[in-house]
Amino acid sequence: MINCCHGCVFDCLTEVGPDGQLRGELAESWEASPDAKVWTFKLRQGVTFHNGKAFGADDVLESLAMHTAEGAKSAAQPIVSAISEMKKINEHEVELTLEAGNADFPFLLSDYHIVMFPAGQVDEAIAKGIGTGLYEAVSFDPGVRFVGKRVASHYKDGSAGWFDEIEYIAINDTSARMNALMTGQVDAVNRIDFKTEPLMRANPRITIFEVTGNQHYTLPMLSNVAPFDNLDVRLALKHAVDRQELVDKILQGHGAVANDHPIGPANQYYAADLPQIEYDPDKVKFHLDKSGIGELNVDLHIANAAFNGAIDAGQLYQSSAKKLGININVVQEPDDGYWSNVWLKKPWCASYYSGRATEDWMFATAYEAGVPWNESNWDDPRFQELLYAGRKELDSDKRRVIYHEMQEILSTRGSTVIPMYANYVDAASSALAHGENIGNNFQMDGSRMAERWWFA
């Protein structure tokens, strides 16, 4: 199920449009100081929350501050903690000063975690779904079902929000999700099952839509837990996976081979010229011998909740590695509770990322030391040094060099196997229509199908 808050109940200050360009949402405009440290945002006027409260500067400051409050475990903490001072200039203007310059800062404020809540009512707004979005919450059973009704007199009237009511249903079982669309129980589904793709394509009532973005599937190893704290073990495992086989058999060709770093082909500074990590028996033997471990036996905890076909991918990896003397025990975990009981907890597991619109955003989300979603506990001094340097660098050529080295570090030393980029392949009733472009920053048109699509 896609995030039903983003682009639905709650709004951000900025938004990545379906064309990939940044545009204002609750912020009308913004400007930066020459060093990109001080950012001034002019807020949209005439906006109200679903409970009638007017939106203004106080709401922005409190909504940002909650991510760094004592005890907060927000995934947006790395973004907001970079703000050293927040100032209300007037009711419709705020000034945010960063600890260090960040040329990508307005992009970061489109993160779906950084939605705006009414000041003084944050807890109630979270519990009841009180936002400024196009749809007001009617009912919400987390992980099960959401129903929202269209808000009257909204600031996006005439440009978005074409449904009177929307309903999101969580159908985690892949077969059941595909069947729900084919039998007309639902109008759209995400993450189609490639095994049933031919059947779906033959159905004239179904349209499959595919976009290439930065989504990638990951197999993170906790870099501070044996044997994954041994670089040669990690390199042996990287060279023991047949990446093209995974693209061909798991993605059915809907993607591309990846190179153990998270920057995708849709990113500005994607390092396409890095040497490809390949399935290589000689390198596996070399690194296993160098590791001093001898026979390598490791558990890979996996469930299809991580990504469609994850268990099959694990078994293919197991087969290719076994030929080279590595024993991977594929531990099939339940889909229910996978993200709370396995991810970030087991030494080696499966995961996925939608990618991010900028390199710094992706690195800061999952590879900056100490951030909540650092799924491999990655902490490399040189990588961290480059991360901070690239963040404040305004010269595009210099940023390219920095981000190239960061991708190289993760590819050759990192603690995550990233075997493939996966296209977003979703499906909908042919009765639905959309604009010229479909957003590729997240699934389902940038997770904003509810506001961008309509019935033809």
Domain locations in the chain as residue ranges = 1-133, 213-423
- Residues above pLDDT 90, as percent of the chain: 87
Q: What is the pLDDT of residue 188?
A: 97
Q: What is the pLDDT of residue 72?
A: 87
Q: What is the mean pLDDT of residues 124-145?
A: 94
Cα dihedral 68→73→79→82 (10° resolution) = 40
CA gap 67, 52 in Å, rounded: 24
Q: What is the mean pLDDT of residues 392-408?
A: 94
Highest mean pLDDT among 3-12, 24-33, 355-364: 24-33
Q: What is the mean pLDDT of residues 371-393?
A: 94
- Residues above pLDDT 70, as percent of the chain: 99
Structure tokens at 128: 């009841």
Structure tokens at 402: 């920095």
Q: Is residue 208 classed exposed, middle or buried when 0-12, 13-18 and 19+ CB atoms within 10 A define those classes?
A: middle
Q: What is the mean pLDDT of residues 195-201?
A: 92
Q: What is the pLDDT of residue 5?
A: 54
Q: What is the pLDDT of residue 323?
A: 96
Q: What is the mean pLDDT of residues 33-40?
A: 93
Q: What is the mean pLDDT of residues 216-225?
A: 98
More confident residue, 377 or 354: 377
Q: What is the mean pLDDT of residues 369-381?
A: 96
Q: What is the pLDDT of residue 393?
A: 87
Q: What is the pLDDT of residue 254?
A: 94
CB 379, CB 369: distance < 8 Å: yes
On the question of pLDDT at 428 being above 90, the answer is: yes
Architecture of the domain delimited by 213-423: Roll (3.10)
Q: What is the pLDDT of residue 3?
A: 47
Q: What is the mean pLDDT of residues 427-442?
A: 93
Instruction: Please report, as a single letter, which amino acid is at residue 31.
Output: E
CATH class of the domain at 1-133: alpha beta
Instruction: Please report, as a single letter, which amino acid is at residue 29.
Output: S
With cut-offs at 50, 70 and 90, classify the pLDDT of residue 1: very low
Q: What is the pLDDT of residue 6?
A: 64
Q: What is the mean pLDDT of residues 269-283?
A: 97
Q: Is residue 244 classed exposed, middle or buried when 0-12, 13-18 and 19+ CB atoms within 10 A define those classes?
A: middle
Q: What is the mean pLDDT of residues 175-186?
A: 95
Q: What is the mean pLDDT of residues 80-102?
A: 96
Q: What is the mean pLDDT of residues 185-211?
A: 93
How many residues are listed for the chain in this entry?
456
Q: What is the pLDDT of residue 2?
A: 37
Q: What is the pLDDT of residue 294?
A: 86
Q: What is the pLDDT of residue 78?
A: 85
Cα dihedral 442→446→449→454 (10° resolution) = -130
Q: What is the mean pLDDT of residues 300-314?
A: 96
Q: Is residue 232 classed exposed, middle or buried when 0-12, 13-18 and 19+ CB atoms within 10 A define those classes?
A: middle
